[in-house]
């Protein structure tokens, strides 16, 4: 049995929740046949979207680059099946916390799946910088939900000591990481070993929630087979949101990630098990990130299960693959029931951040959204894993008091939804905080613009004053010179007059 | 007797200096009314209120000679905050003041520009570059969308565009 790290301390707040995971873990994960049409978003990761580099009508091979990363935090996008580009268009696509409108490459796929485009011979170079560039080219991003580019996470210049392999998967309904750990534990560990090397970290902690018994067993076996003393396993308590980056770090190491910072600030990198698998797959086969495992679950789905689906498949295709929606289904949720958001339609493609689709039935959903006044009971503060004061944040958000929101630490809200669950007045706190975060960002952008404008305006006023001063000075000088000229001219004139008069007075004097 | 007098005198001088010092230090940190009003205004100095920039408008507001509804880029939010701070009744935005918005930036049609330099002279934040008789262009990141350059252009080659597009 590999060594087990002890839990350092339980993080603050959090809630035990009903897991609803058994719904989708009964059957083995299946594989979605390539749908007729794929819609691949250029906004696959957090950060600037990629730029499409194909044109309508063009043929694309499986694994061909179709989107080049543009700015910082970029990642490449590839065709997840061969076919012909049908169109480039703007469509709503999911990100970690909401739908956004982004450029999409729509591909009509071939009925017969062709061979993948051959990877370059040197897809995995020997040096660290080359490897980071290769990871970016392979479009590998964090598959836990936020889709942070993996190259940026691993390539940070600051020293990293500990890699945490996150298999906690604390949110109800979601079981894709669980299934992946049961299916491909060796690949996950191989990926983690590569990550250790690139991040120059000295140890890797594999963290899995205590209730995932089968995943714990298979991973423990794999760690034993792997026989690497840098790896340790931890079974963490089943408390939502134990899988949150900050909560995990706090629990395993007893360290707190600074406000507004990242785990790397204290020498820790967290990586999702799915990301490790994708990386190992890329290194072994040269295949970029083309598919991911998605949980399709909920009591509104005929046959809930985990599905390996190509990036860009429509959620409708996934649902059809799982037997379709039954008549009880009343609402579609992307993500889990805590941090997910409801979808207006199933005609939305999955991205690299899509880990779960839940079809809820009427009895799962609380339709009555009546809010009662806050009674200041403080339950929300006790439940908040980020140690914030949701009731105070709510007041500041309603009053749009941005300085107060900043002081209360709105940026540290992880939008986990614990405060919503415990609020006896049924106040929709998290939704407000999400909106307030966007408003705060806008407010800050305006403030930056205003500061810059202020500075430019004052400099301009300054310059105008200086110029006016200089002009006046020049004029004065000119006047003075002219006045001087005038005086000497008059003096010369009067001297000449004097001479003439003198000559007039004594005309008979000898010359 | 003497020691008592000296002690009291010392106390008086000491405490007075503490009070004086405290007053100075606190006074310098506390914002003046004009500064507080100016913080509410957008500070982009568009001049649509009829004053030459946000500070003169803020001074007029504090002096009570200006109405609180003259700031188009600030919009309703600014009016609400001004009403709150100055204890005035919220008013609807004065429509004749224009519709400048920080969400838009000016753009020069470079084919039509004749290089007259009038727009550059009108820009309150020096966001237009170009020398007379040459092509002019706008630094979009510095443009505040105040629309002051629109009126002076003799060939109407400046249009407002959304900031993020």
CATH number of A372-502: 1.10.1060
Question: pLDDT tens digits for A120-132?
Answer: 667 888 889 999 9
**Domain boundary residue among B45, B68, B97?**
B97
- Say whether B45 and A454 touch across the interface (CB within 8 A): yes
Question: pLDDT tens digits for A179-200?
Answer: 999 999 999 999 999 999 999 9
Complex prediction ipTM: 0.77
Regions of chain A short of the pLDDT cut 70: 1-6, 8, 114-121, 506-511
- Whether B52 and B92 map to the same domain: the answer is yes
- Whether B79 and B46 map to the same domain: the answer is yes
- Whether B24 and B52 map to the same domain: the answer is no
Question: pLDDT tens digits for B83-123?
Answer: 888 888 888 777 677 777 778 889 998 888 888 889 988 88
User: CA angle, corner A413, sides to A139 and A264, nearest 5?
Assistant: 50
Instruction: Please give the interface size between A and B, counted as residue pairs whose CB atoms are below 8 Å apart.
Output: 36
- Say whether A460 and B125 touch across the interface (CB within 8 A): yes
pLDDT at A270: 94
* Nearest residue on chain B to A453, alpha-carbon basis: B44
- Say whether B127 and A454 touch across the interface (CB within 8 A): no
A355-391: burial string, b at 16+ Cβ within 10 Å, e else: bbbbbbbeebeeeeeeeeebeeeebbbebbbbebbbb
pLDDT at A408: 95
Q: How far apart are CA A294 and CA B52, in angstroms?
A: 59
Q: What are phi and psi of B25, to 5 degrees?
A: -65, -40
Structural domains of chain B, count: 3
Predicted TM-score of the model (pTM): 0.80
Residue A241, preceding bond cis, omega within 30 degrees?
yes
- Whether B82 and B114 map to the same domain: the answer is no
Q: Looking at the complex, does the CB of residue B120 fall below 8 Å from at least one CB of chain A?
A: no
Q: What is the CATH number of the domain that holds B87?
A: 1.10.15.40
- Whether B16 and B58 map to the same domain: the answer is no
- Contact status, residue A177 vs residue A272, Cβ threshold 8 Å: yes
Q: Which two tokens stand for residue A432?
A: 């407000």
Domain residue limits at B69: 33-97
Question: pLDDT tens digits for B32-52?
Answer: 788 888 888 888 888 888 888
- Whether B38 and B73 map to the same domain: the answer is yes
Domains of chain A by residue range: 372-502
- Whether B16 and B63 map to the same domain: the answer is no
Q: Looking at the complex, does the CB of residue B126 fall below 8 Å from at least one CB of chain A?
A: yes
Which among B36, B38, B43, B139 is the top mutation candidate for probing chain A, defined by the most A β-carbons within 10 Å of its own β-carbon? B43
Question: pLDDT tens digits for A78-114?
Answer: 999 999 999 999 999 998 888 999 999 999 999 877 6
Q: Looking at the complex, does the CB of residue B144 fall below 8 Å from at least one CB of chain A?
A: yes
Give the position of tokens 């498949």. A313
pLDDT at B75: 82
pLDDT at B29: 57
């Amino acid at each position: 049995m590999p060594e087990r790290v002890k839990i350092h301390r339980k993080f603050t707040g959090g809630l035990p929740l009903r897991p609803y995971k058994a719904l989708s873990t009964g059957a083995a994960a299946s594989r979605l046949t390539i749908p007729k049409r794929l819609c691949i978003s250029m906004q696959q990761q957090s950060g600037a979207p990629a730029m499409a580099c194909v044109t309508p009508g063009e043929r694309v091979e499986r694994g061909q680059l179709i989107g080049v990363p543009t700015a910082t935090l970029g990642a490449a996008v590839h065709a997840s099946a061969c076919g012909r580009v049908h169109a480039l268009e703007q469509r709503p696509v999911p990100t970690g916390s909401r739908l956004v409108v982004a450029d999409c490459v729509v591909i009509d796929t071939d009925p017969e799946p062709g061979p993948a485009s051959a990877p370059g011979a040197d897809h995995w170079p020997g040096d660290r910088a080359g490897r980071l560039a290769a990871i970016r080219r392979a479009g590998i991003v964090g598959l836990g939900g936020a889709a942070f580019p993996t190259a940026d996470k691993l390539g940070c210049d600051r020293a990293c000591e500990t890699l945490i392999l996150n298999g906690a998967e604390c949110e109800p309904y979601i079981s894709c990481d669980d299934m992946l750990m049961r299916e491909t534990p060796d690949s996950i560990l191989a990926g983690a070993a590569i990550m250790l090397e690139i991040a120059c970290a000295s140890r890797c902690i594999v963290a899995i929630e205590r209730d995932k018994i089968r995943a714990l067993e298979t991973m423990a076996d794999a760690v034993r087979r792997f026989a690497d003393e840098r790896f340790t396993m931890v079974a963490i308590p089943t408390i939502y949101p134990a899988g949150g980056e900050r909560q995990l770090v706090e629990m395993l190491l007893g360290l707190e990630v600074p406000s507004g910072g990242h785990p790397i600030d204290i020498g820790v990198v967290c990586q999702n098990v799915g990301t490790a698998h994708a990386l190992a797959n890329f290194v072994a086969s040269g295949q970029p990130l083309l598919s991911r495992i998605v949980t399709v679950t909920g009591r509104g789905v005929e046959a809930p299960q985990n599905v390996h689906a190509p990036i860009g498949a429509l959620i409708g295709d996934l649902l059809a693959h799982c037997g379709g929606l039954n008549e009880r289904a009343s609402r579609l949720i992307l993500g889990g029931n805590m941090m997910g958001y409801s979808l207006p339609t199933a005609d939305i493609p999955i991205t690299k951040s899509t880990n779960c689709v839940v079809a809820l039935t009427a009895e799962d959903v609380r339709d009555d959204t009546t809010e009662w006044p806050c009674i200041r009971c403080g339950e929300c503060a006790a439940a908040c894993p980020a140690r914030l004061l949701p009731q105070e944040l709510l007041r500041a958000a309603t009053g749009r008091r941005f300085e107060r929101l900043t002081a209360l630490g709105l940026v540290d809200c992880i939008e986990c939804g614990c405060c919503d669950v415990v609020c006896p007045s049924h106040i929709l706190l998290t939704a407000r905080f999400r909106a307030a975060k966007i408003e705060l960002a806008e407010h800050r952008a305006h403030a930056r613009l205003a500061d810059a404008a202020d500075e430019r305006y004052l400099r301009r006023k300054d310059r105008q004053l200086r110029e006016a001063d200089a002009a006046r000075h020049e004029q004065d000088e000119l006047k003075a010179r002219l006045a001087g000229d005038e005086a000497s001219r008059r003096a010369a004139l009067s001297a000449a007059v004097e001479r003439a008069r003198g000559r007039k007075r004594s005309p008979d004097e000898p010359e | 007797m003497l020691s008592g007098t000296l002690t009291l005198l010392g106390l008086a001088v000491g405490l007075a200096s503490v009070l004086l010092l405290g007053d100075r230090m606190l006074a310098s940190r506390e914002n003046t009314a004009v500064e507080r009003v100016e913080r509410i205004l957008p500070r982009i100095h568009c001049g649509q209120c009829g004053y030459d920039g946000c500070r003169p408008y803020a001074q007029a507001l504090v002096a009570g000679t200006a109405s609180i509804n003259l700031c188009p880029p600030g919009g309703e939010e600014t009016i609400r905050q001004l009403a709150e701070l100055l204890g005035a009744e919220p008013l609807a935005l004065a429509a004749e003041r224009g519709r400048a918005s920080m969400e838009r930036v000016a753009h020069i049609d470079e084919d039509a520009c004749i290089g007259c330099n009038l727009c550059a002279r009108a820009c309150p934040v020096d966001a237009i570059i170009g020398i007379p008789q040459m092509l002019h262009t706008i630094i979009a990141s510095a443009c505040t969308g105040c629309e002051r350059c629109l009126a002076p252009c003799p060939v109407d080659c400046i249009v407002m565009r959304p900031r993020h597009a």
